[in-house]
Amino acid sequence: MSDTHDYDLVVVGGGPAGSSAAYAASKNGLKVAMIEKEESIAESVRTSGVTWIQNIKEFGIPDDCYNPVKNFVFYSPNNKVSIGDTVARSAVLDVRKTYRWLATQAEEEGTETFVDTFVKDVIKDESGKIIGVKATRYEKNIEFYGKVIIDASGFQSTVAKSMGLVKQWERFGAGAEYEAKVEHVQSDTWWLMVGQRYSPAGYAWIFPLGNNIARIGVGIGKPDSSVDPIARLKELIKNKEGPIADLGKIEPIEFHYGLIPNDGLSRKTVYDNLILVGDSAGQANPLVLEGIRYAIKFGRIAGEVAAKAIKSNDTSEKKLSEYEENWKKAIESKIKSAGKVQDRWIGLTDEDWDKELDIISELKPEEFLDFIKADFGLSNMLKLATSHPKLAVRQLFSMVKKAGKKE
């Protein structure tokens, strides 16, 4: 015997995408359930938390949830580039605090959160459309029924997989990091390390959180490399490679491990009664494999679109397609361009990376961040080509420029 609960909207996943969708839907008057498998929101941290000040302000994230960053240092095996700015444009989030703030936002609008609740299957009607999910909570079976279901379950894509709509991601990033107390660190500077000794298909990082706390990590693309990011991270710390040596004594506080899709925007994200958002939808920037800003932005849009559809008594794929049209217009061409750049970066030798840093050193701070953020609009590319003729002739920017013309 199962307990049953009826809602307008059921959101599976209590991360940034799920909380943002629940918040927007609740704010629009829906009765919303948000289901989270862990014992508390953000019990585990699976991301380094890098994002951008512009987005933080847009979302209203409180100042005490992030550490602002205005300086950027790139290391390759035999080169180093520093780009300094007068204002902070990037930030490192207190991930746990930020995710819990997002969830609290949703709850204050009326969302009911169910933690320690595992979705194990979907519920379909006679025509095969999803109408709910089956879950277990405290050893009890529960059925959650909704007019629309939002799959915000992250990399695992729990709902979409149970429906047989998607398979596991073929390409993805695997990241391992320690959040640690360190002896010396500049709180307004983050470091990226590239090349074979750091990561054969990705990069290593040092991201400061303030108060002499930093996240030291390694991300490796799969299946491009078989290297284990955990083993490589421990090796880099043990050997005090590159800028890690400058940190002095390192005292680990917490270990983080996460997976992020890197198959591009390859999935359909709307079906009858169903929306995919965040990592479930593959909405990630392939250059530095970050997607928190996309999860929040498109989570809110998913919640708004679901609310409109439910109020109009039409939750068909056609009605929900407004969500997919919106996010595709916003980022599809940029992510495709970033994917091409990433494909090129994966093939670089250490010597190539040393030369690449010479090119990067010519960029102004705002140009550098537009590039890292995968903000490959045509206007940005033309501006770069005009300001930096040396860049305009390179294959990297010619590829991006061609993709940008599709916008």
Reported as a single tens digit per residue, the pLDDT across 37-74 is 999 999 999 999 999 999 999 999 999 999 999 999 99
Q: Which of 148, 152, 149 is nearest to 310 (CA)?
A: 148
Confidence of residue 407 (pLDDT cuts 50, 70, 90): very low
3-state SS, residue 385: helix
Instruction: Please give the C-alpha separations between residue 366 and each of 84, 90, 109, 190, 243, in angstroms, as whole numbers.
Output: 10, 10, 36, 15, 24
pLDDT of residue 389: 55
Tokens of 385: 């080509």
Helix, strand or coil, per DSSP, at residue 296: helix
pLDDT at residue 380, rounded to an integer: 61
pLDDT (0 to 100) of residue 344: 76
Residue length, the chain? 407
**N- to C-terminal Cα separation, the chain:** 53
Structure confidence by residue, pLDDT tens digits, 267-310? 999 999 999 999 999 999 888 889 999 999 999 999 999 999 99
Is residue 401 predicted with pLDDT exceeding 50? no
pLDDT value, residue 386: 59
| pLDDT given at position 377 | 62
Taking the alpha carbons of 111, 114, 118, 122 in that order, is the dihedral positive or negative?
Answer: negative
Residue predicted with more confidence, 340 or 92: 92
3-state secondary structure of 96: helix
- Cβ proximity of 34 and 103 under 8 Å: yes
Mean pLDDT taken over the chain: 91
- The pLDDT, as a whole number, for residue 15 is 98
Domains of the chain, first to last: 3-43+96-167+265-330 (3.50.50.60), 50-94+171-261 (3.30.9.10), 336-404 (no CATH)
- Tens digit of each residue's pLDDT (9 = 90 or more) over 84-116: 999 999 999 999 999 999 999 999 999 999 999
Residue 345's pLDDT is 80
Residues 193-215 have a mean pLDDT of: 96
Contact 71, 47 (CB under 8 A): no
pLDDT for 364 equals 82
- Give the residue carrying structure tokens 């005292």: 251
Instruction: Write the pLDDT tens digit of every residue in 121-171.
Output: 999 999 999 999 999 999 999 999 999 999 999 999 999 999 999 999 999
pTM: 0.93
